[in-house]
Structure 1
Amino acid sequence: MSENNTNESKVIEIPSSLTVGDLANKLDLDSVDVIKQLMRAGYMLSINQKLEYELASLIAKSFGFDSTQVELEEEEKQIFKSNIDGEEIKAPVVTILGHVDHGKTTLLDTIRKSTVAESEHGGITQKISAYKLKYKDSFVTFLDTPGHEAFSTLRSRGAKVTDIAIIIIAADDGIMPQTDESIQHAKSAGVPIIIVISKIDVPAADIEKVKGQLAERELMVEEWGGEIICVPVSSPKNEGITELLDYILLVAEVNEFKTDTKVSPKAVILESAMDRQQGIVVKALVQEGILKVGDRFVTNTTKGKVRALLNDSGAQIKECFPSTPVDIMGFESLPQSGELLEWVKSEKEAKKLLSKRKSESKKSNNISMNLTHASVEQKEIETINIIVKADLQGSLDAIIESLNSFNKDVINIAVIHSGLGNVNENDIAMSVASDSVVYSFNVGIEQGVLEKNKNVDVVVENYNIIYELIDSVEERILKSQVVEETLIKQGAADIKAVFDFDNKPVAGILINEGKVNSNNRLKIYRNGKEMFFGKIKSLKHYKDDVRELISGQEGGVGVDEFNDFKVGDKIEFFN
């Protein structure tokens, strides 16, 4: 921007939500500068990810711009919500949000009377799952979203397509980091919130403490004189489930969620995957109209013709109504999660629309290089090259977002290539050429690929649990001696007890400041003297392995290289 710009020219209009790339264009700045400013503010966002007005205005302010909020164009406002002008009552879409391992999938499992949670790797949800269920002659659609910290994008996507948000909070843990984030997603979506307090049957359950934490976040439950519905449940004992379902129907009746089946069908893409037998399979949620086999459609990035529709039980159906999750086959290429599928009358119209949309996004696409690559060009820093393959687009997004969080001033994780499906010959060739490590998530290796390349030095690591993949990358950073020069203190604890676990001493701790993550380093002090510095080996809450403990929680810490824990020792935790 030129120095003689007037103050008036420093005021920009920002819609309620926009991509990072769009904000950079409005500020007339390079997208990398905006991404770096977001990182300084604690947000790891790529150029094509969305941010709300509040955050966008703060970033604009940091560059010297004032902003005013403007309404989205009508077409954009319709993307995530059904036709508000319709007169037909639709089944409510209920999204279950919350922290990892707080019982989201087990709750839905109890409602469905199935065994979903047991089939999840590591017992945690790692994708959006969608089901339409019948209760008291009414239908309810449930979306189960991941609670792990890496899946922020998927939780946000679930909140945007919902009518009612269920925030689930474990009675023993209370509100945790992903709980807070889920509350913000639900508030941003502007939808009714129902609080579910789970695990009320465990010894450390404290329901009133949870209600107090909610009050601190301006969510006052009915029992405390507020308007927020709160339902205590125990999924294993089937307690509170009927009451929860009744409240969902009550909220739906009061709000009268409506749609229009007479208009052209629209659906939101939740997930996309490449199946070996069926080809491209896309999970979507129909918003309005009736999607039928044979319909032609277009999104922002691809087009196609509905070849088959599968309901949430895997059975083929001929048509799909609003508020209904469905697997769609017939896409020419993989769409991006969060895109809008729109009906078109002909292949000619689909080609025309797709060409126009690709042309409009070309400018952003030309600069949509990952921040890691831009950093490499700007300064000489250590680089670890990585290739990522995954089963679902949402999982791939979550992994790359987590890898980007490692990028600091002296570290660069360069994602050379990413994609869906099994590791193939091209991935191995690219790995050899770029000296990259191949990480695969929930996918295999095509037959014969490793045998053909047995004489080349290539590393392929396979994972079914996302945090194990992320931990492996961090271990590789440490082994490469690519470490940050400054330790950042995250929290502190007192050792209250010492006990044996699997024949190894574990320090029983009380977190009295900040938080601790299982990836942290720690320093152990005795009488003010540093006794040990190293890496956490295990972090437990009671007998369960956990990723994080926060101030006020008790837990256990184990390390490989130190066994001389003493009651009264102090521990500090660092990134």
Structure 2
Amino acid sequence: MAKNLKVKIKNTQLAQALQLDKLKKKKAASVKKKVASEPPAPEVKPVKGEEKEKVEEVVSPPEATPAAAPTPAPEKPAEPVRERGRAIIIKKGPPPSKDKPPVAKTPVQRKDRAVAEKSKGTPAPPKTTRRPASFKDFRDVKPQRKSGGPHRGFDSRDRMGLRVGDDDKWRRRRQKGRREGQEDLTIRPSNLTVRLPISVKDLASEMKLKASQLIAKLFLQGIAATINDYLDDETTVQLLGHEFKCEIAIDTSEEERIKITAKTVREEIQETDLELLTFRPPVVTFMGHVDHGKTSLIDAIRKSTLTSGEAGAITQHIGAFKCHSAVGDITILDTPGHEAFSAMRARGASVTDLVVLVIAGDEGIRDQTIEAINQAKEASVPILVAINKSDKPGFNTENIYRELSEQEHLPEARGGTTITVNCSAVSGEGIQNLLEMLSLQSEVLELKANKESRARGSVIESAMHKGLGSMATVLVQNGTLRTGDCLVFDIDWARVKTMHDEQGKSLLEAPPSTPVKVTGISGLPEAGSEFITVASEKEAREISAVRQKEHTHKLHQKGRRGIEGLLEKKAEVEKKILHVMLRADVQGSLEALKQSLEKIHSDKAEVNIVSSEVGQISESDVELAGASGAVIMGFHTKVESHAEGLINQKKVTVKLHDIIYHAIDEVKSLMRDLLDKLPEENETGEAEVKAVFKSSHLGLIAGCQITDGLIKRSHHARLVRDGEVIWKGMFASLKRGKEDVKEVSKGVECGILLQNFSDIKEGDLIQAYEITYLEQEL
């Protein structure tokens, strides 16, 4: 209806315009006729646009009248004639008198006329005339465009109804084409200094480019990046600059500030004046295969009972102790021997001065023993071999010597340099000799440190204490750590609130080679990370914040795949995924469990670790597991009392373990349960069709003879014809005579009715089989 109304309005406007056009032509014709009948008028210049201000006006000479007589009023001027923007103004005066000669006609300008009228005191404003309407005066009834947009006037296309809606789009396309054709006058820098990591968006802004240009260049380099991804590789950033003729320099001032110092602990000690250095106790790490008696040997040295507190009688945490012996103080680190705790053993080897390699004399060198030898070799730490279990009947030192020689550690007893000590943790035999050898080795190494310098050291273990919060076991390697000091760890910071030794005794300061438990940490520092003392808490917070930001960027970049990774992901076969949440008592155990689960490789299933944290299993953990469908694996931890009811409500699976290889086996079992069972057909019997009978109630019945095995009504059936299986299904009925039977054995004739199948012929074979479902292997 609106469309029809619009058409009617347009038609009305066109009719009015045509009528006005006729009137205009009629008036113009009458004016021309009138002018033609009169004497020729003086020449008048045409006036255009801005020249209308200077309009020439022709004035005829006045008639001879007395001076006092009033001037006759001028007649109404004739209508002007318009021709395409030009106007001719004609002023008609009284006819010339025959008695007097004509006066010369001079043009009078409007300005002169205004001055003359003003002098006479008789104002005579010019009378404005209404010009006839034109087609250009009409506007479309549509609402006009808002200011700022392209102006569209009423033209011939509107009069003829030829305007379409795409005109404006076409006009915009032309304007866009003109803009694209214009030369880019942006001035791009030829030299640039940036700080890594930097996002693609920020780098494009610095280089005065579009982000899409950088993304295209990165794609050609095999890097799939988005506008918000960060670039942290110096070579990649400089190559991008080279592509656009811009030399990019990397600003490393911030990295140097947050690094605090580029020197290692040993380099710092070596550069210290000899007068400031004092002797410190040796740090000794006991390493070896699982169940070879490492912790029992430490118990014998410390005269303690550490082994009684370990689940499964195996060490699953790294321990740090200060031992006071007859030959002096010794700091002992006890490492787990299980293969899952490889990272713990590596940390122990990296912070130690001596490695005591414990080998069971009745078993010899095993896998973890070889791994411990290699880790000590990588850390350039001397090895002292303790051949344990000398009280057992199968103790054989010659076998140990031979295996050590194969590992390039020739014993002193065979002319080599490796010290070996025969001992027994049970009887105490050789313990004193072992301590004397450790003291002798430490004197040879000349272990020194500067007590007066700022404290530096390493994190041995970290855990979440229920009353004290984040707690870390640290080993001071240089300087003295005091209560109230501000520390910076990897991405965490701390103001030391309390310090305790392994027996829970409170300490105010910790000199070099002292293991202590520290509280007041902002988070849980990773085991193996270093710490250093800084001047103030403000500095510690700032450095920690910058490191935390960089750590987040690294995690983001680690999860991002390149072009090859995207293609591999597309080509991956769909796997079954087991979602797992890990909770452990300490950071080291959590790390060991996580690494062990990540090592489970399978083409059919994989483990997705939703979250891994230290502490007890809380209500929020149960909520997250219920939402993600994950299984909660707890290692050496418990479920909070108020979270137990929520576990049943959310139907969440929680598995608690104290021994790490039991937890790993549990995860493997859960992964196998996700896989579809494989059906296996076991043939139980076979029958040959001798004849086919029709029954009005049952249909076709096959008269058969059992040629092999046993056929039961509950078995599955298949029909074989000419060596091909043409049907599979179930038995509907088995008959002997007129009686229904449950099973038929070999050599017996029977009637067989197949379920929903009647195409049976003589000579067909009917086979019976059972289906068993087998569990897949990973």
With normalisation by structure 2, the TM-score equals 0.51
Name the amino acid aligned to 1:181.
E
Between the two structures, name the one with larger relative contact order (CA 8 Å, sep ≥ 6).
1
Q: Could you tell me which residue of structure 2 aligns to residue 228 of structure 1?
A: 418
Q: Could you tell me which residue of structure 2 aligns to residue 195 of structure 1?
A: 385
Change (3 A) 1:393 1:416: same
Q: Could you tell me which residue of structure 2 aligns to residue 141 of structure 1?
A: 331
Whether contact under 8 Å (1:296, 1:306) holds in the other structure is yes
Q: Could you give the per-residue CA deviations for residues 314-373 of structure 1, whole angstroms, max 9, x where no partner exists?
A: 1001000110100001101111111111111111111222233234434322234599x9
- Alignment length, in residue pairs? 417
**1:103-252 correspondence to structure 2 within 5 Å:** 103-136=293-326, 138-252=328-442
Whether contact under 8 Å (1:81, 1:161) holds in the other structure is no
Q: Could you give the per-residue CA deviations for residues 98-152 of structure 1, whole angstroms, max 9, x where no partner exists?
A: 1100000000000010100111111111111011112235211000000001000
Give the drift of 1:411: 2.4
Q: Could you give the per-residue CA deviations for residues 222-280 of structure 1, whole angstroms, max 9, x where no partner exists?
A: 00110000011111000010000000000000110111112110121111100112211
Give the drift of 1:454: 2.1
Name the CA distance, whole Å, in 1 between partners of 2:368 and 2:362: 15
Q: Could you tell me which residue of structure 2 aligns to residue 412 of structure 1?
A: 606
The reply on whether 1:363 has 2:553 as its aligned counterpart is yes
Name the CA distance, whole Å, in 2 between partners of 1:223 and 1:433: 64
Name the amino acid aligned to 2:299.
D
Instruction: Specify the SS of the correspondent of 2:269.
Output: coil
The reply on whether 1:95 has 2:285 as its aligned counterpart is yes
Counterpart pick for 1:466 among 648, 660, 668: 660
Give the drift of 1:286: 0.4
Change (3 A) 1:393 1:212: same
Instruction: Specify the SS of the correspondent of 1:474.
Output: helix
Instruction: Specify the SS of the correspondent of 2:512.
Output: coil
Instruction: Specify the SS of the correspondent of 1:100.
Output: coil
Change (3 A) 1:271 1:219: same
Identity across the alignment (%): 35
Q: Could you tell me which residue of structure 1 aligns to residue 577 of structure 2?
A: 383
Q: Could you tell me which residue of structure 1 aligns to residue 479 of structure 2?
A: 289
Change (3 A) 1:76 1:213: farther
* More strand per residue: 1
Give the drift of 1:478: 2.6
Instruction: Specify the SS of the correspondent of 1:304.
Output: strand
Q: Could you tell me which residue of structure 2 aligns to residue 477 of structure 1?
A: 671
Name the amino acid aligned to 1:471.
D
Q: Could you give the per-residue CA deviations for residues 395-448 of structure 1, whole angstroms, max 9, x where no partner exists?
A: 000001000111333321110111010111121111111211100011111112
Instruction: Specify the SS of the correspondent of 1:83.
Output: helix
Name the amino acid aligned to 1:422.
Q
The reply on whether 1:84 has 2:278 as its aligned counterpart is no
Q: Could you tell me which residue of structure 1 aligns to residue 590 of structure 2?
A: 396
Give the drift of 1:80: 7.5
Name the CA distance, whole Å, in 2 between partners of 1:30 and 1:201: 63
Give the drift of 1:391: 0.4
Whether contact under 8 Å (1:411, 1:483) holds in the other structure is no
The reply on whether 1:256 has 2:446 as its aligned counterpart is yes
Name the CA distance, whole Å, in 1 between partners of 2:531 and 2:677: 44
Give the drift of 1:289: 0.7
Deviates further, 195-204 or 386-395: 195-204
Q: Could you tell me which residue of structure 1 aligns to residue 650 of structure 2?
A: 456
Whether contact under 8 Å (2:576, 2:674) holds in the other structure is no
Give the drift of 1:456: 2.3
Deviates further, 204-213 or 155-164: 204-213
Q: Could you tell me which residue of structure 2 aligns to residue 433 of structure 1?
A: 627
Q: Could you tell me which residue of structure 1 aligns to residue 538 of structure 2?
A: 348
Name the CA distance, whole Å, in 1 between partners of 2:551 and 2:464: 25
Change (3 A) 1:250 1:365: same
Change (3 A) 1:30 1:440: farther
Change (3 A) 1:294 1:90: same
Change (3 A) 1:273 1:219: same
The reply on whether 1:266 has 2:456 as its aligned counterpart is yes
Whether contact under 8 Å (2:354, 2:381) holds in the other structure is yes
Name the CA distance, whole Å, in 2 between partners of 1:149 and 1:310: 30
Give the drift of 1:376: 7.5
Name the amino acid aligned to 1:132.
K
Name the CA distance, whole Å, in 1 between partners of 2:677 and 2:356: 40
Name the amino acid aligned to 2:527.
S
Whether contact under 8 Å (2:622, 2:646) holds in the other structure is no
Give the drift of 1:452: 2.9
Name the CA distance, whole Å, in 2 between partners of 1:76 and 1:168: 35
Q: Could you tell me which residue of structure 2 aligns to residue 444 of structure 1?
A: 638
Unaligned runs of 5+ in 2: 1-220, 225-258, 679-776
Instruction: Specify the SS of the correspondent of 1:399.
Output: helix
Change (3 A) 1:250 1:483: farther
Name the CA distance, whole Å, in 2 between partners of 1:211 and 1:256: 29
* More helix per residue: 2
Name the CA distance, whole Å, in 2 between partners of 1:208 and 1:29: 57
Name the CA distance, whole Å, in 2 between partners of 1:116 and 1:482: 45
Q: Could you tell me which residue of structure 2 aligns to residue 515 of structure 1?
A: none
Name the CA distance, whole Å, in 2 between partners of 1:469 and 1:407: 16
Name the CA distance, whole Å, in 1 between partners of 2:569 and 2:577: 8
Whether contact under 8 Å (1:82, 1:259) holds in the other structure is no
Change (3 A) 1:180 1:85: same
Name the amino acid aligned to 2:482.
K
Name the CA distance, whole Å, in 1 between partners of 2:651 and 2:552: 37
Give the drift of 1:81: 7.8
Instruction: Specify the SS of the correspondent of 1:367.
Output: helix
Instruction: Specify the SS of the correspondent of 2:315.
Output: coil
Whether contact under 8 Å (1:174, 1:210) holds in the other structure is yes
With normalisation by structure 1, the TM-score equals 0.69
Change (3 A) 1:226 1:75: farther
Change (3 A) 1:339 1:242: same
Deviates further, 427-436 or 103-112: 427-436
**1:533-572 correspondence to structure 2 within 5 Å:** none
Q: Could you tell me which residue of structure 1 aligns to residue 188 of structure 2?
A: none
Name the CA distance, whole Å, in 1 between partners of 2:367 and 2:266: 26
**1:40-59 correspondence to structure 2 within 5 Å:** none
Name the CA distance, whole Å, in 2 between partners of 1:359 and 1:458: 34
Change (3 A) 1:251 1:447: same
Name the CA distance, whole Å, in 2 between partners of 1:370 and 1:128: 34
Q: Could you give the per-residue CA deviations for residues 156-181 of structure 1, whole angstroms, max 9, x where no partner exists?
A: 00000000011111111111111010
Name the CA distance, whole Å, in 1 between partners of 2:433 and 2:222: 52
Name the CA distance, whole Å, in 1 between partners of 2:439 and 2:523: 38
Q: Could you give the per-residue CA deviations for residues 49-69 of structure 1, whole angstroms, max 9, x where no partner exists?
A: xxxxxxxxxxxxxxxxxxxxx
Give the drift of 1:287: 0.8
Change (3 A) 1:82 1:221: farther
Instruction: Specify the SS of the correspondent of 1:197.
Output: strand
